[in-house]
A and B are shown apart, each in its own frame.
Chain A
Amino acid sequence: MIGGLSFAFANPAILAALIALPVIWWLLRMTPPRPAAEVFPPLRILASVMKREETPSKSPWWLTLLRMLMATAVILAIADPVFNPRSNTLATSGPLALMIDNSWATAPDWERRVEAASALIDDAEAKDLAVSIVFTGERQHDATPGSAGTARNRLAAAGPEPLPADRRSAIAALQAAFKDAPPGTIAFITDSIEAPDGKTMAALAAIRAGGLRVIEADGSEAVALTDTSNESSGMSVTATRLKTDDRRTLSVVAYDTRGRAIANGAIDFTPGAATAKGTIEAPFELRNDFARIGIDGLSTAGATHLLDDGFRRRRVALLSGEARDLSQPLLSPLYYINRALVPYADLVEPRETDLAVAIPELLEQRPSVLIMADIGRLPEETYPVLAKWIDNGGTLIRFAGPRLAAAPADDPLVPVTLRQGERALGGALSWSEPQPLADYPANSPFAGMPRPTDILVKRQVLAEPTADLAERTWANLADGTPLVTTATRGAGRIILFHVSAEATWSNLPISGHFVEMLRRSVQLSRSGGIASEGKAVKAQTLPPYRLLNAHGLLVAETGNARPLNVAPGKEPLATPDNPPGLYGSEDGFTALNVLPRNAELKRMDMVAAGPHVAERLAGAESWSLKPALMTLALLLLLADAVIVLFMSGVFSRVKRASATAATLLLLVLAGAALLPSPPALADDTRPDDARILERLDTTHLAYVVTGEEDVDRLSENGLKGLTDFLTYRTTLEPGAPVGLDIAKDELSFYPIIYWPISASAPMPNPQAVSRIDAYMRAGGTVLFDTRDQFSSLGASSGGTSPNAERLQAILANLDIPPLEPVPADHVLTKAFYLLTNFPGRYAGSPLWIEATFDNREEPSNRPARSGDGVTPIMITGNDFAGAWAVDANGAALLPTVPPDEMQREYAYRSGVNIMMYMLTGNYKADQVHVPALLERLGQ
């Protein structure tokens, strides 16, 4: 080995050839042979005689250097440099003891650690030594020396754990196993992070092994996020690292619950600093969505910081003593609170004005905070409910006001005892001036905010002085009277602002400080639903919900993690029993992170280990530089050849010969490039493109060609009659009707296809039917007309007609939705004309369409049913085409049954409505609201 680099030459003797380099250099410089130097005055005459310049007597220095490099590369390649050469240096005096850290910091290079360990096991096997292997991240340790195969199996089964290394128990296991015969070698593949007790190496040295070998990585990946806190501009993130000697900038990313990166920031480590702070700048609303902070590019459990719902938006219930008056919002106290909290919290307000109903109703929604503005007395039965809720962790924020000032003094829901009545400052009968605010006390959550200078309090309620008033005060006036006081009740808290929540008593509610004070107060409250029933939870046990794996990902698999005991005031630690992750349930959970808050990573003290061999964790594979060097030499040789060719003028001669041709070619090319060339287009025209374009230009009515001439002619004439009617009555002007062969023709150009069913026509083949199916699925509509109202689809008839049987046969292969006759409130009845039925030549058959089930049972006063899309299928037996059919003169072809021209008119109207429904969908259903909309707009 050479120094710290794992690097050696397989044949170091060859390196002696490097001595020959100066000789090679001299040789290279000498060739071509030195010419006889001659002074020759008539040199000009000689020059005119000589054909061309000889090559200079000396090759340029860079060419010599190139050749020297080539020679060096060849010599080095033959010497065969090898990276990470391995040598078996295990002591044979006893078994090999392997202690492997599989903590969170080993996750990025775990493969290399496994390779290093398996190389050691191979060495032990080669020397016929037993192997004892322990992993510091595991719960139980079995340090009994075993065969190399067993150790290999255990190594393969182990993986990095999202936990700090627990070395004490592992060393204890080793000590127990090697009580009698010390091991020959202890190999400690470590993450270099010192355990909290700091005695790892001393304990290892105490085993008195034949040799101690410590294998460690450089620790640059051991970076952990230890703390986060919300600050005014963003979220502050604290990170600690193991390798402290360099400057490092890490990018931290905040992820939401779905793992999407939603914000990022940077942490700058100065050289020598083990901890650093960074900020993720994000608006408060966005910060509520943070679920996890990670370091970009480092996927370890330590580099992931889980956030629990302590960061979530709070639900805040608002309660006011006065009835809400919408016409004068600026006088309503809730108005200011509402405006201040809307960006930060979910606000709920009571529906009922009766407080006896409103308070239980609000508490039912499990708010974190209840804000009561100027409420003096609550109904008697609500006090225990509220007190219970506060005990369970609720936060009650109260604002003073005339009602509170007039309330009796024994109100249990104020933090301090209040004097009756309020104190007016700066009135006509008062000497005192309106008071500004003093600096916020240090124990106040408002500490850190600048002292507001522009706030003047004109009126307030006063607290009776008590011994602990000062420490329960969060804000004072300049004369020392408290402005905000607080008291904890059970797990909850009561906060009282001694001024009113609207601008009559002070201008606090209209200043930015009001927003910030409210935000901080709300942020103090407990998140998650706080119920008013049940008893207060002192210490709770939370089941594992999502656990962090070693690569910093949350997984649902909880393994044999045990429930986490959360006691107030005690931070839980990640242990093998409680691996880091989220504990609780979907509704509310507590995050447990790998490292405790504000932990610091320290490097292990290697001095305590005594004499030991320190090794770098290198990849176990040794690899040779020989091929690379040979390739380099070959490339240099090629470059040299090209250079020599250039210098001897080969290319220039070629160039000169072809210069004219090249110039000509260039000119031609430039000309071609400058000329505007027509864009090359692929010729993708199809034979019937013109027909398709014609079909697309205007809307066409289409019918299915059944193959029976009289039926098809009638269909065409019928649709022609409807087309004329549509053109005459509506803005829709369809083109000539189109007969379709459903087996071949493209169907998707037509909004509706009329299909007269004829039992005597040939049955369409399955491919044609499946095309119809695809057409209907893609949004088209088929209007089936059995034309047999006399033996109609209705249940009244005894049997089914042949046409109906044929229809059934066709529909048997189609995926059709449930059907119903057109309901009276369907759009079809209102799409253009108001219709009640849809007659054709016959009037008896209903028109069947796709059934809509929504809002069927709910009472609705809407005149039309809404629903998206149009029905893909319509079935009638009324022979529409027969009623619509006209001849060339516009005269009707067939009489209606009964012969009633109004019925024909209605048949046309049915056709118009169907077409309008086809083309506009439920837009027409919305049109029925127009009068209501107009009426609303008018107001």
Chain B
Amino acid sequence: MASIGHIVARTPSGEVLSRAQQRAMLVPDCLVEARRIANTVISGWHGRRKRGIGENFWQFRPYSEGESLSRIDWRRSAKDDHTYVRDREWEAAHTIWLWADLSPSMMYKSTLGAVSKESRALVLMLALAEILARSGERIGCPGVMEPVSARNAAERLATAIMLSPLAEGLPETGMIRGASDLVLIGDFLDPADEVMERLGPLARRGLHGHVVEIADPAEEVFPYAGRTEFTDPETGEKLTAGRAEILREDYQRAYRARRDSLGESLRHLGWTFIPHRTDRPASEALVAVHMYLSGMPTRATHGGLR
């Protein structure tokens, strides 16, 4: 009997990128929720036209009483009798960190799924990058790429991933500074407690996260029967089930319980949780993430059972 699941080779970045751009074309420009990011999103790369914290000069304005003396621009004030304060243009762009889990378990593709989990995860990540870049957001990848705000951010991200493959497991968060959004794409098959142990500190640092759980349909429905030897692609551990079909009920129950508990815990952090199955179109997950990022919670298009 041919086996249901396979370990597939890594998807080339270029292919993923083209697919991601196709997906991204279907999705309108991402307008990240204004409420959360204050005025930043609407500014984007087309300018905020407003004084604020930034690096570029915006205007000189007269000093008003009560302002800190240190803000006075003495060079300008010296030109006439008024005292001026230098204002700068507000340049704080919103940063969105994208990260995909590329551990061996992600290389899995079953006959029921359309593509491998890794492939789907990359497509999602790059499509998100494309959309967000189009919207002028700063796109970063923890451990791989510093946030950039560029029109070709998706291409740059693909290149960066090609050059320095993503670390396995959960992301290296040392690069992440300040309040930003984090999109984590992976299968999150580790026990929910371990996952939360890693994510909890991030949430406490003010990061806002969106977790996309990619699952192969075979992992969810457990279509195995008969004597089966299961191998863990990460640890190589082997487990032989005499009659796999009798395990199905129990397994599905345990699997859903894990997903539910993970989702529940993430919602407690204020994060969002999007389960996605590889037999569904990638757009579903993309749209869901897009909605969340845009501050429009949706329940309709969860790429799976729920």
Contacts and interface: CB of A to CB of B under 8 A. Distances in A.
A41 B189 contact: yes
Given A42-B189, A43-B239, A57 B229 contact: yes
Given A33-B227, A54-B240, A39 B251 contact: no
A56 B227 CA distance: 12
A590 B280 CA distance: 119
Given A36-B227, A41-B105, A44-B191, A50 B233 contact: no
A453 interface: no
A47 B230 CA distance: 10
Given A42-B255, A46-B251, A35 B105 contact: no
B253 to A, nearest CB: 8
A43 B1 CA distance: 20
Contacts of B227: 32-33, 35-36
A43 B232 contact: yes
Interface in A6-61: 32-33, 35-50, 53-54, 56-57
Interface in B236-250: 237, 239-242, 247, 250
A65 B242 CA distance: 25
Interface residues of B, number: 37
A40 B232 contact: yes
A41 B250 contact: no
A36 B224 CA distance: 9
B130 to A, nearest CB: 28
Interface in B44-80: none
Contacts of A50: 239, 241, 247
Nearest to A32: B227
Contacts of A38: 3-5, 224, 228-231
B1 to A, nearest CB: 6
Contacts of B242: 54
Nearest to A57: B240
Contacts of A49: 247, 250-251, 254
A32 B250 CA distance: 25
A209 B190 CA distance: 94
B6 interface: yes
A48 B237 CA distance: 14
Residues of B contacting A: mostly: mixed
B229 A45 contact: no
Interface in B122-139: none
A827 to B, nearest CB: 103
A32 B241 CA distance: 12
A56 B239 CA distance: 9
Nearest to B222: A46
Given A37-B3, A38-B4, A43 B250 contact: no
Contacts of B237: 43, 47
Interface string A876-890: 000000000000000
Interface in B1-53: 1, 3-7
Contacts of B239: 43, 46-47, 50, 53-54
A369 B216 CA distance: 119
A54 B230 contact: no
B226 interface: yes
Contacts of A47: 237, 239
B189 A36 contact: no
B91 interface: no
A35 B244 CA distance: 10
Interface in B104-118: 105-106, 108
Given A46-B239, A50-B239, A50-B241, A36 B233 contact: no
Nearest first, the 4 A-B pairs at minimum CB distance are: A41-B105, A43-B232, A35-B229, A40-B230
Interface of A: 32-33, 35-50, 53-54, 56-57
Given A36-B3, A39-B5, 7 more contacts: A40-B5, A43-B230, A45-B254, A46-B230, A46-B239, A47-B237, A50-B247
9 contacts: A35-B229, A36-B3, A36-B226, A39-B7, A39-B230, A43-B237, A47-B237, A49-B250, A49-B254
